[in-house]
């Protein structure tokens, strides 16, 4: 039985486990069907916020928390996340060649591009987060010296910037003029800012007891996409990861899970699952693409059946695969465990 570490942040393991499940859920929609499609949009909206956006917050809460020297930090992250991703990208490209997804003649060019751009769409997150890691030693050093007010001001500016796209409700041209590539706030809001929010919540947000107005805020955040849709906002805008409604929903997930009291048994469960989460992220889409998609397509299932089937099947198979690989020598280079 896993021995509990009193210094470990098990609520981070719980958030990471939840985010991993959300990633699986977002990828459990096999395109092609129509029956039951009405459940896809709301399910994917609430899962997307809990997937990549929540992982950015987790990263900020962990790596921004204390200063670290540049070279050792980057070297460790290269070995921990980038090398396993490269290996699995190569495996995926070879499988695509064997299944005629791409031509063998395209393989050399794809291999050369791996260090610079994702060759397997699911791995886009790793490229973005590694770019943030290059800035982490500088950001973490600054955060140690600044006050809560300083960080709060940056977060407030970001919240204002994230509402600009929705000013099109009032005046489309005005909103577009403010949110151009040469605008002062356009590059302020992004995944680095979301990481900063994760750091802020970890360090400063502590709620001894949830009150009625906390519940009202959470209900408002849940209702926000529906209100925006009723006002005529397009789905593509509402579901954009760096817009205010998605980030606020992600912050609610983070805060709620952070304050859930976990018993010893549940701590062990989330710890073990979180240890497998990065490996599951690396292998689950291949399992969905090459194993589960042909099954679903041959059975012509309704989305109300296929989504739970793909979700549970990909979860179980991915976990088993990752667990078995973890027993191999040098498995840390294939599926790095989370520290």
pLDDT by residue (tens digit) across 203-248?
999 998 888 899 999 999 999 988 888 888 888 888 888 889 999 9
pLDDT at residue 337 in the model: 63
pLDDT at residue 39 in the model: 81
Judged by average pLDDT, the poorest of 129-138, 294-303, 307-316, 319-328 is 294-303
pLDDT at residue 264 in the model: 92
| pLDDT at residue 1 tops 70 | no
Number of other residues whose CB lies within 10 A of the CB of residue 214: 15
pLDDT at residue 31 in the model: 83
Q: Residue 28 burial (CB < 10 Å; 0-12/13-18/19+)?
A: buried
Query: How does DSSP classify residue 78?
Result: I
| pLDDT at residue 101 tops 90 | no
Number of other residues whose CB lies within 10 A of the CB of residue 36: 14
* Token representation of residue 4: 């509990």
Residue with tokens 């499988």: 95
**Alpha-carbon gap, residue 304 to 297, rounded angstroms:** 14
Q: Residue 130 burial (CB < 10 Å; 0-12/13-18/19+)?
A: middle
Q: Residue 320 burial (CB < 10 Å; 0-12/13-18/19+)?
A: exposed
Helix (H, G, I), strand (E, B), or coil: what is residue 3?
coil
Tell me the mean pLDDT in the region 10-25: 96
pLDDT at residue 2 in the model: 61
| pLDDT at residue 338 tops 60 | no
* Token representation of residue 106: 């395209």
State pLDDT tens for residues 37-64.
888 888 888 898 788 899 999 999 999 9
* Token representation of residue 285: 């889409």
Tell me the mean pLDDT in the region 124-151: 93
Helix (H, G, I), strand (E, B), or coil: what is residue 291?
helix
pLDDT at residue 138 in the model: 93
pLDDT at residue 266 in the model: 95
State pLDDT tens for residues 154-179.
999 999 888 888 888 877 777 777 77
Reading phi first (left if > 0) and then psi (alpha if -120 to 50, else beta), residue 232 is in left
Helices (DSSP H) in the chain: which residue ranges? Answer: 10-26, 40-48, 54-63, 70-77, 83-98, 107-113, 124-145, 148-163, 172-178, 191-204, 212-230, 235-238, 244-258, 264-287, 293-299, 303-325
Number of other residues whose CB lies within 10 A of the CB of residue 330: 6
CB 279 within 8 A of CB 322: yes
Tell me the mean pLDDT in the region 6-26: 94
Judged by average pLDDT, the poorest of 39-48, 107-116, 310-319 is 39-48
Does residue 35 or residue 55 have the better pLDDT? 55
Number of other residues whose CB lies within 10 A of the CB of residue 39: 13
> Over the chain, what is the mean pLDDT?
89
CB 283 within 8 A of CB 322: yes
Contacts of 113 (CB under 8 A, 6+ apart): 119
| pLDDT at residue 289 tops 90 | yes
């Amino acid at each position: 039985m896993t021995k509990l570490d009193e210094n470990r942040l098990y609520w981070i393991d719980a958030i990471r486990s939840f985010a991993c499940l959300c990633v699986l859920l977002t990828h459990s929609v096999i395109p092609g069907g129509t029956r039951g499609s009405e459940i896809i949009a709301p399910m994917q909206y609430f899962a997307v916020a809990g997937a990549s956006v929540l992982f950015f917050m987790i990263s900020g809460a962990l790596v921004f928390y204390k200063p670290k020297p540049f070279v050792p930090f980057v070297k460790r992250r290269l070995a921990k996340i980038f090398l396993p991703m490269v290996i699995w990208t190569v495996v995926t490209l070879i499988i695509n060649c064997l299944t005629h997804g791409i031509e063998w003649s395209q393989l050399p060019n794809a291999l050369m591009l791996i260090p610079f751009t994702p060759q397997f769409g699911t791995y886009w997150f790793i490229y973005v987060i590694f770019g943030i890691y290059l800035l982490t030693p500088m950001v973490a050093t600054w955060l140690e010296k600044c006050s809560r007010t300083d960080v709060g001001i940056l977060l407030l500016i970001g919240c204002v910037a994230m509402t600009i796209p929705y000013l099109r409700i009032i005046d489309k041209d005005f909103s577009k003029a403010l949110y151009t590539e040469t605008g002062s706030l356009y590059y302020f809001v992004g995944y680095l800012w979301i990481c900063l929010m994760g750091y802020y919540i970890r360090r400063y947000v502590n709620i001894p007891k949830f009150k009625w107005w906390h519940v009202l805020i959470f209900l408002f955040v849940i209702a926000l996409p529906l209100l925006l849709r009723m006002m005529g906002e397009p789905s593509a805008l509402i579901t954009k990861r760096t817009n205010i409604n998605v980030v606020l929903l992600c912050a609610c997930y983070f805060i709620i899970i952070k304050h859930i009291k976990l018993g010893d048994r549940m701590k062990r469960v989330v710890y073990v699952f979180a240890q497998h989460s990065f490996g599951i992220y690396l292998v689950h889409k291949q399992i969905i693409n090459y194993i589960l998609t042909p099954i679903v397509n041959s059975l012509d299932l309704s989305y109300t059946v296929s989504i739970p089937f793909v979700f549970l099947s990909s979860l179980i198979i991915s976990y088993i695969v990752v667990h078995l690989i973890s027993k191999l020598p040098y498995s840390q280079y294939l599926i790095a465990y989370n520290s």
